[in-house]
A and B are shown apart, each in its own frame.
Chain A
Amino acid sequence: MSQNRHEQEQQILGRVKRDEFIGRAGELERLVSHANQKESSGLLVLAKPFAGLSELLRQTFDSVFPEETVVPIYFELPSGQTTVVSAAIEFLNTFLLQYVAHRRREPDLCHASLTLNDLQELAPTTDSEWISALVAAYNQHRFDDDDQALVRFCLNAVRRVPGDVRPFVMFNATELGNYDDDQVPFVSEIVRALAATRSPYVLAGLRREVLDAVQSAHADLRSLVLMKLEALGVEDSRALVGSIARRHEVPTNEEARDLLTQQLEGSPYFITTFIQAAADKRLALDSYFACERLYVDELMGGKVYRQLAAELENIAPEPNTRSALIRVLCEAVPEGKRTVSAVSWRQRLKLSGVVTEKLLRLLHVHELINWNGETITLDGGSTVWRDFLRARFRLDALREPRALVVAELMAAALRRAPQTVARYFRRANSLSLLELLAQFNTQTVPRKLFQFDEFAALYKGATQEEIAVGLETDADHFRLPQVFHAASGISFSSALRSFGEESTVVAHAFAGATYTEPDEVVWLVAKAESKLAANVELVEKWFGLLEGVARQSGFVRTQLWLISNEGFSAEACELLRARGAFGSSRQQLDLLSNLLSPAGVTLATATDEDEFSLVIPMGEDNELLAALTVEQLARRLEFTPEAINQIKTAVVEACINAAEHSLSPDRKIYQRFRVESDKLVITISSRGVLPPGVGEEGNNTPNADEHLTGTRRGWGLKLIKTLMDEVEFERVDEGTRLRMTKYLRRTQTAKKQQ
């Protein structure tokens, strides 16, 4: 797309500006490129529900509109209760309206409400002849009794466009499920009409429906190109949340953006609707509390409620059936995944076979259940849908008081919020392990990266540079396998959940360059967050779990790889060696990651002249930068040298603590120093998940005897409490924030005032 084209583009059908249309650049480019093809070909867009299909097609329309010879036509099947004939007439009208708008270069016409006669009059001279003929023919057909002929006539109107102009029809059939007409085979008519346009076209719809529809119309699937439209990825979702919030001037923060990204599951529709609702109510979305309060409001009566209620009404228009459906869906929901027979549903819903089948098909198409023709699995639907359904069930079926439902929904949402974000962080953490395994690809690496004892003997206390030089000259190499499938260990066995949700990986691989059975090997990888070196008992326990999975899954040849942050005890290393297992520390893992795939200090702007912010990457010695900064600030306040040293030590400990305890997504430590007349307030936080127990009050007295008996870590917090005057943990949305205060002593204050 040229720069010039971009400049010419304007917002016609798009509901958001182009620069705010986030996360779909690839799909948009593909559609525009398809529009410019010279030959007739169909593109089938298979969309996940609420994935933003409509907006993508609208944006495509706006992108193609400036073209001279390609006329974009966008049609969306109406969602209300309407007939096949009405929808077909609507198509004809939309086609002519957008065609005339393009030919007259008047994009505003696309929004006008015009009759066919109006359009006939507005048509440019070059097109007036065929448009007049079309309208005249339509007027003849509309009074015939043959509905199918009228539908076919309307849908095939595009074929009448003269050869020098190429219409590009984008047919959004998301609502196709509502057009179940025995008299007119609507799907077949649509597919046939599109295939006959002699120019590129797009047929888009829900992924569980549109492909079946094309097949049922006996279309040649080989001539169609498929494009999938999934939910947005995490980064795009976050960017979308940020962008819409900025546009609507809704204040947000990192924590809220993380939550919304995860809770709304990357759905552009829900994200947009939700933030618009915040803007309408002039609410900030700057905490989990604020987000969940609005979420519950939206579920109980906002735009989200109306959308989901309308969808439910479309699926089950008859009120009694709808109530029974909610009951059936909800009574199964709390038990999670459960398979029931379609027959039992039919009995419970008290419906005929045909009606039940239609209902199940619609639920399946909208991905609210999984139905294979015989059995139903009730684990479908988004979190939003399940919450909505649960609320409706309690209100309508159980007749519970609204206030009670709201309160409990809010409590459940607040309880779930940190878990939702924590799950994402853990997943992100494990993704790096999955990605790492995927990069193995028969590369050779120093064997010592998999043998903790040998690595520690050589490199304990060495700098990164020294280690890098050492590994580079290390001749003892090991060829990694080629991993062809890697998945979370929990997918294989729920027993591995004891490592944490996302801390195990099972990777199927070939050890050599040839794909032969003897070379096939399964790597079982487990990573544990621990501040201490793993001992024999722990390693034995890991072996038990991983070997159990191997036996249960029938893996013939396996390679165990255990990863412990602080490595392994000498006895544990011997055990690993005896069992032929690999053991690595976090440091070895990071080095391996750097080898397989080829950050600085940020001073944030403070909002107050007495407040300073510093953002440092977690890593070797960076806490010293924080210590030096706080030293300068403490000097300004004329703290004694002794107090300054205490503050510095406390800051260093807080930074170490932040780095050690959190599964931080950005690996950064955020610090805020507030200078007041009689005190210095320091706040240190990091984004991430805190392990249980961190931040809780405990014994405040450090004790070296603990150290001599083996507990040599975990003194940081106790030390901070001893060194500073006030230390408190502030509960924040992501983890915990440590706030510590040091007061100027009275004598010092008096001296300063003199």
Chain B
Amino acid sequence: MGESTKANIRSHCVGTTAVVYASDYLNKLTGERIEHECRKQLDSGARALVIDFSDTELVNSIGVSILLGIIDVAEKNGAVVVFSDVNNDTVQLFEMLGLMRHVVLAKNEQEAISNLSGQSQAMGH
């Protein structure tokens, strides 16, 4: 039951990095789905989370507050969070809400993964 209810969130893993795709509108409902997926990936041993916003057109403040919750949980698990492919409007919104201080941005998913793998190698993992 737990799996099937959140089936709409796409995700995959590249090594210890989990890539989770946000939907077109990030609100309470879709935010909670992402949160659930991220928690699941962290519980499964992911050391980095890439949240990809390539499909995301609109984000509301509840969605942002859930993203902050994800960052919080990731930090407690010692995992890094990268947001990829965030459009300018959403970046502006994140800036307004001070979210940018807590997250790294990448142009796209590939850049995020390659940055994370570079970091990982540098740290000797």
- Where the two chains meet, the residues of A that have a C-beta atom closer than 8 Å to any C-beta of B are 457-463, 466-467, 470, 620-621, 623-624, 627, 641-642, 645-646, 648-649, 652-653, 656, 702-705, 707-708, 712-713, 715-716, 719, 722-723
Contacts and interface: CB of A to CB of B under 8 A. Distances in A.
B5 A462 contact: yes
B64 A715 contact: yes
B29 A463 contact: yes
Contacts of B29: 461, 463, 620-621
Contact of B89 (A645, A704, A708): A645
Interface residues of B, number: 37
Given A461-B33, A704-B102, A642 B89 contact: yes
Interface of B: 1-2, 4-6, 25, 27, 29-36, 58-62, 64-66, 68-69, 71-72, 88-89, 92-93, 96-99, 101-102
A462 B4 CA distance: 9
16 contacts: A457-B2, A458-B1, A460-B35, A460-B36, A463-B29, A642-B88, A645-B58, A646-B89, A652-B60, A703-B97, A705-B101, A712-B66, A712-B69, A715-B65, A719-B93, A719-B96
Contacts of A624: 25, 58
A652 B96 CA distance: 16
A704 B68 contact: yes
The prevalent SS among residues of B at the interface is: helix
A649 B93 contact: yes
Contacts of A462: 5-6
Nearest to A644: B89
A470 B89 contact: no
Contact of A621 (B27, B62, B89): B27
Most buried by A among B36, B93, B101: B93
A238 B89 CA distance: 46
Given A461-B5, A461-B32, A649-B58, A708 B71 contact: yes
Given A461-B6, A653-B60, A719 B1 contact: no
| Closest 10 pairs between A and B when the two form their complex, measured CB to CB | A704-B98, A461-B32, A461-B33, A462-B5, A645-B89, A712-B65, A707-B68, A715-B61, A466-B5, A702-B97
B93 to A, nearest CB: 6
A645 B66 CA distance: 21
A106 to B, nearest CB: 70
Given A649-B59, A649-B60, 4 more contacts: A457-B2, A461-B32, A707-B65, A707-B98
Nearest to A715: B61
Contacts of A470: 1, 5
Nearest to B9: A461
A460 B65 contact: no
Contact of B98 (A466, A645, A703, A716): A703
Contacts of A703: 97-98
Contacts of B92: 642, 646
B25 A459 contact: no
Contacts of B62: 656, 713
A460 B88 CA distance: 30
A519 B59 CA distance: 51
Given A642-B92, A704-B97, A704-B99, A461 B35 contact: yes
A623 B4 CA distance: 26
Nearest to A464: B29
Most buried by A among B1, B99, B102: B1
Contacts of A620: 29
A617 to B, nearest CB: 16
A94 B35 CA distance: 80
Nearest to B6: A461
Nearest to B88: A642
Contacts of B27: 621
A15 to B, nearest CB: 54
A621 B25 contact: yes
A715 B61 CA distance: 6
